[in-house]
């Protein structure tokens, strides 16, 4: 029986397909005659989604602080005129009232100093503190095994120090909530919330990072978090090294957010659906703790991705480049609870993932982490042998493997990121 053609229809190419990123970047999925080859391609690739990534994580191109921002942006900061005094006294009052509103009375206490280890005199105190458990009433408690692993980092090993160390896309939680001055602590929290939603959006959209935004060093994050009308005036009224840094940071955020004054961006009225206005001290304390937890969670998740990019590079010329990148993201996503995206729609209601209290609840996440670490150069042989789930009958054995993984991760982080 002959085919009956009712109406010939020309193929129309998709008009809204993004080709700048995702698995279709810089390449066609398949170009050729229909048959075994194109069916094989469909079988291997039809389950990949180019529009929405499961993990919503960026693909950082570099991590070193010295190449974070184009020099034009930094040099422009020294010649950019200050926009003038605040547009009105009302904004200063509004800024001050918000800081007061976000203050948590009695929430600040001095953190316990890190124990100085022998033979580490050449390592700065700030670097040693970075690898110690930060004790603070607003800081979520660390996982005991990971706290122990941090304390065992070997600082005698070579590592990039000072300006050669990595800069970071997210401020450390201890920096945001750790100030001993309540008004400064409130200002830090308010300024983080001011840009949080936009900053996380930028982190999850690859093309927004190219040549415009990069990771920041801790002093740069501190300058931004401490931004106030007074600090802006001081930045352009004094000619000192600190004032220059203030201008550099102001220029960076001006370029990123497209505003003349970062204080023009109003902080949110809500935190995960709960009002930040007229809160009780107990509610504010809870919100501060949640903010610190989120920064810690996202920081670890993103640093794990950065280290994996650094230690397991994938050649851009590799025909399976995009599939391997997708596999990388899948592996890292499985380290964390399956219902938790990088940009969270809601806060967790239970202690889970790698922090779960019950060892058996940690097993699937430890096994996922084991698969990630086993790919790293010089990974211990045991990571490539038996799976963690093979020892579910022995809690001590699982905890031993967990400790070894934590120590390997922390040591790698120090030697690579500094």
pLDDT exceeds 60 at position 96: no
Number of domains in the chain: 1
The residue range of the domain holding 155 is 65-417
Residues 180-211: b if buried by 16+ CB within 10 A, e if exposed: eebebbbbbbbbbbbbbeebbebbeebeebee
What pLDDT score was predicted for residue 22? 46
SS3 content of the chain, % helix, strand, coil (to 5): 50, 0, 45
Rounded to whole angstroms, how far apart are CA atoms 252 and 68? 11
Q: Is residue 42 part of a domain?
A: no
Rounded to 5°, angle at Cα 132 from 409 and 328: 25
Domain contains 45: no
In a domain, 6, yes or no: no
Residue 47 lies in a domain: no
**Helix ranges, 258-337 (H):** 281-311, 321-333
pLDDT at 402: 94
What's the CA gap between 365 and 82, in Å, rounded?
50
Does some domain include residue 15? no
pLDDT for 114 beyond 50: no
User: Nearest Cα to 261, choosing from 294, 278, 236?
Assistant: 236
Q: Quote the pLDDT of residue 32.
A: 60
Does residue 363 surpass a pLDDT of 90?
A: yes
pLDDT in the model for residue 13: 63
Query: Is the separation of the CB atoms in 193 and 271 below 8 Å?
Result: yes
Across the range 228-236, mean pLDDT stands at 77
Pair 205, 58: CB distance under 8 Å:
yes
Average pLDDT in the chain: 75
pLDDT at residue 43 above 60? Answer: yes
Q: What band does 239 get if pLDDT is binned at 50, 70 and 90?
A: low
CA pair distance 105, 36, nearest whole angstrom: 69
Residues 291 and 176: their CA atoms lie apart, in Å, by 9
* Greater model confidence, 371 or 67: 371
pLDDT at 116: 37
In a domain, 24, yes or no: no
User: Does residue 328 surpass a pLDDT of 50?
Assistant: yes
Q: Helices 218-225 and 182-203, interaxial angle, to 10°?
A: 110
Q: Is residue 53 a part of any domain in this protein?
A: no
What's the whole-model pTM score? 0.72
- Residue 286's pLDDT is 93
Within a domain: 118: yes
Cβ contact 77:247 at 8 Å: yes
How wide is the angle at C-alpha 228 spanned by C-alphas 225 and 229, nearest 5°? 160
Confidence of residue 376 (pLDDT cuts 50, 70, 90): very high
Asked whether 155 and 411 are in contact (CB, 8 A), the reply is: no
């Amino acid at each position: 029986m002959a085919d009956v053609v009712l109406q010939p229809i020309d193929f129309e190419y998709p008009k809204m397909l993004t080709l700048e990123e995702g698995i279709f970047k810089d390449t066609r999925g398949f170009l050729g005659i229909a048959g075994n080859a194109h069916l094989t391609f469909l079988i291997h690739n039809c389950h990949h989604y180019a529009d929405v990534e499961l993990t919503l994580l960026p693909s950082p191109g570099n991590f070193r602080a010295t190449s974070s921002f184009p020099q034009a942006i930094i040099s422009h900061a020294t010649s950019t005129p200050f926009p003038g005094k605040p547009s009105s006294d009302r904004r200063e009052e509004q800024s001050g009232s918000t800081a007061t509103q976000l203050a948590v009375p009695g929430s600040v206490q001095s953190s316990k100093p890190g124990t100085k280890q022998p033979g580490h005199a050449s390592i700065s105190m700030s670097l040693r503190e970075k690898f110690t458990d930060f004790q603070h009433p607003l800081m979520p408690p660390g996982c005991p095994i990971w706290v122990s692993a941090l304390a065992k980092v070997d600082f005698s090993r070579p590592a990039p120090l000072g300006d050669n160390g990595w800069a970071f896309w997210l401020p450390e939680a201890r920096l945001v909530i750790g100030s001993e001055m309540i008004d400064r602590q409130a200002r830090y929290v308010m300024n983080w919330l001011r840009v949080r939603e936009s900053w996380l959006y930028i982190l999850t959209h690859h093309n927004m990072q190219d040549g415009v935004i990069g990771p920041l060093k801790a002093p740069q994050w501190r300058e931004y978090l401490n931004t106030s009308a007074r600090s802006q005036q001081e930045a352009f009224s004094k000619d000192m090294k600190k004032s220059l840094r203030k201008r550099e940071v102001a220029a960076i955020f001006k370029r990123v957010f497209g505003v003349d004054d970062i204080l023009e961006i109003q902080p949110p009225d809500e935190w995960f659906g709960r009002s930040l206005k007229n809160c009780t001290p107990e509610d504010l304390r809870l919100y501060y703790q949640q903010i610190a937890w989120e920064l810690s969670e996202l920081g670890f998740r993103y640093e794990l991705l950065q280290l994996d990019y650094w230690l397991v590079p994938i050649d851009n010329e590799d025909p399976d480049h995009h599939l391997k990148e997708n596999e990388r993201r899948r592996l890292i996503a499985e380290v964390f609870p399956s219902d938790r995206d990088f940009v969270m729609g809601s806060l967790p209601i239970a202690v889970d993932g790698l922090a779960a209290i019950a060892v058996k609840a940690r097993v699937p996440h430890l096994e996922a982490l084991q698969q990630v670490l086993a790919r790293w150069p010089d990974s211990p042989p045991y990571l490539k042998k038996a799976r963690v789930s093979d020892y579910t009958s022995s809690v001590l054995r699982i905890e031993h493997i967990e400790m070894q993984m934590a120590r390997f991760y922390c040591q790698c982080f120090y030697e690579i990121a500094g």
